[in-house]
Amino acid sequence: MSELASGTETNVREAPRSSRPLEVIGRSSPSNAPPEERYEFFTVVQGYLDRAASIIGTPAYVQSILSQPKNELIVHFPVRMDNGEYRLFKGYRIQHSNILGPYKGGMRYHESASLDDFKALASLMTWKCSLMNLPFGGAKGGIKFNPREVSRAELQRITRRFFHALGGNIGPDYDIPAPDMGTNAQTMAWAMDTYVNTVGMVSKQAVMGVVTGKPITSGGTFGREKATGQGLVFCIQDWARRNHFDLEGKKLMVQGFGNVGSHTAVLLSHLGVSLVAVGDHTGYLYNPEGFNAHRLQSYVQSHGSIAGYPNGNAITREDFFSLQADIFVPAALENQVGVTEAEALQVKLVAEGANGPTTPDGERVLLRRGIEVLPDVIANAGGVTVSYYEWVQNRRSEQWDIEEVETRLREAMENAYSRVAHVALNAGCDFRTACYVVALQRLQQVYEEREIFP
């Protein structure tokens, strides 16, 4: 199952086969909207950096270094498809910052992925890792194609050729990929296996930490699969405690029912929160009595989407956004909650499981209407935090039990939450800006201590 479920993909269909021997996949995509309608995700994230920098008086040179990724890598690599034809794929790895430690971040397989998205997502990883006090920088990458349109064997060959093409541009002490939308533990097992087979016999075991989010038997950690959802739930619990909001009996809406959305819904159901509406790339379903989140999760695991799930009524996207509920978890793509959705939402809290689901204009409307936002930088940071635990275990040849992982994650989330809440109160700013302030303070301090070479 993918790390995040897409909210805008088209239905699964057979890949059109090119009659030409080589073709660059995914040149046209749903995000090829007219320029004025295109969502400039990287510019949006830069805006958050600028806002935080002006609050804490960040030196101009630090701000300018952090305003662009250090490296933008694009690779093209051929793959033999099942029908014997060859196709050329386009892969990306954007390395935003490594001042705090190795570059770190997921690999996304999605047909609408663009350089602008990867730059935004890579910089988000820098802010996330800094905020969570991890010894990592930020990166993101992936391939522009729809993984639902290829066979498992093709997916394996695409993944192996991609990681082979990246070569020494990744490594356990340099850049550490992980799952993201369209990739999962299986993808990471292929990626790790490809990498370890390029480093020579004697180093094989030492470099298993080149990727995180691996299957447990292949060097993964307990708790990584549900980590993003678990971190989100710890964050929601913290918010609820501080706002004297009893979660028991409350109603939840989730957009995107992949790894993040489904684990969040299941974990919240254990706290008495009822999932009343759910949506993914196939449509939206409503059940006023509440879905059985466990059963829906297993259904999506075996069917690939919520389509055809028997216990809900089909509703439109518009209806979904105007439902009466308490918590909304966007766990699909970026740019989902604009002004229209923000005006329609009838909830008390938006907890961002996805990266960048709320637009700046959408957020302004939410805040004006008194709807609070737990921003992506903190809300979905549980994934990379547990990735760090996996990396540490790989380095030490250890296997921690699930209780240890969960205890550490809970503490890490609570600690980050209280630092952010403190800044939000003292600076009188919104929570997202406070997250960027906390993250930037750490980066700024490091630059001031180390200065730049030479």
Task: Give the binding site for ligand GLU (CB under 6 A).
Answer: 3, 104-106, 178, 180, 212-213, 355, 380, 383-384, 387
We find the least distance from the C-beta atom of residue 73 to ligand GLU, in angstroms, to be 17
We find the least distance from the C-beta atom of residue 223 to ligand GLU, in angstroms, to be 12
Read off the amino acid at residue 47: G
Q: Which is nearer to ligand GLU, 6 or 387 (CB)?
A: 387
We find the least distance from the C-beta atom of residue 61 to ligand GLU, in angstroms, to be 28
Q: Is 140 a catalytic residue?
A: yes
Using CA atoms, how far apart are residues 127 and 423, in angstroms rounded to an integer? 15
Q: Which of 90, 104, 119, 140 is catalytic?
A: 140
Cα Rg, the chain, nearest whole Å: 21
Q: Which is nearer to ligand GLU, 156 or 183 (CB)?
A: 183
Beta bridge partners of 88: 24, 78
Q: Which is nearer to ligand GLU, 102 or 279 (CB)?
A: 102
Q: Output phi, psi for 142, to 5 deg.
A: 150, -165
Which residues in 269-348 belong to E strands, given as ranges? 274-280, 283-291, 313-315, 327-330
Using DSSP, state whether 27 is helix, strand or coil. coil
Using CA atoms, how far apart are residues 142 and 160, in angstroms rounded to an integer? 12
Q: Which is nearer to ligand GLU, 220 or 312 (CB)?
A: 220
Distances (CA, A) of 115 to 90, 215, 221, 278, 401: 11, 29, 31, 30, 38
Q: 17 near 25, Cβ under 8 Å?
A: no
We find the least distance from the C-beta atom of residue 267 to ligand GLU, in angstroms, to be 17
We find the least distance from the C-beta atom of residue 180 to ligand GLU, in angstroms, to be 4
* Cβ-based neighbours of 104, under 8 Å, separated by 6 or more: 125, 129, 134, 136, 137, 138, 139, 175, 176, 178, 384, 387, 388
**In angstroms, how far is CA 80 from the centroid of its own chain?**
29
Which residue number is nearest to ligand GLU in terms of Cβ?
106
Give the chain's count of helices (H) and strands (E).
15, 12
CA atoms lying within 13 Å on the CB side of residue 164: 15
Q: Which is nearer to ligand GLU, 267 or 276 (CB)?
A: 267
We find the least distance from the C-beta atom of residue 25 to ligand GLU, in angstroms, to be 22
We find the least distance from the C-beta atom of residue 183 to ligand GLU, in angstroms, to be 9
Residue 127: which of 72, 53, 57 has the closest Cα?
A: 53
Sign of CA dihedral 125, 130, 134, 137: positive
Q: Which is nearer to ligand GLU, 137 or 362 (CB)?
A: 137
Q: Which is nearer to ligand GLU, 260 or 285 (CB)?
A: 260
Using CA atoms, how far apart are residues 185 and 3, in angstroms rounded to an integer? 9
Q: 13 near 149, Cβ under 8 Å?
A: yes
Maximum CA pair distance of the chain? 64
We find the least distance from the C-beta atom of residue 63 to ligand GLU, in angstroms, to be 23
Q: 106 near 3, Cβ under 8 Å?
A: yes
Q: Which is nearer to ligand GLU, 105 or 312 (CB)?
A: 105
By annotation, the residues acting in catalysis are 140
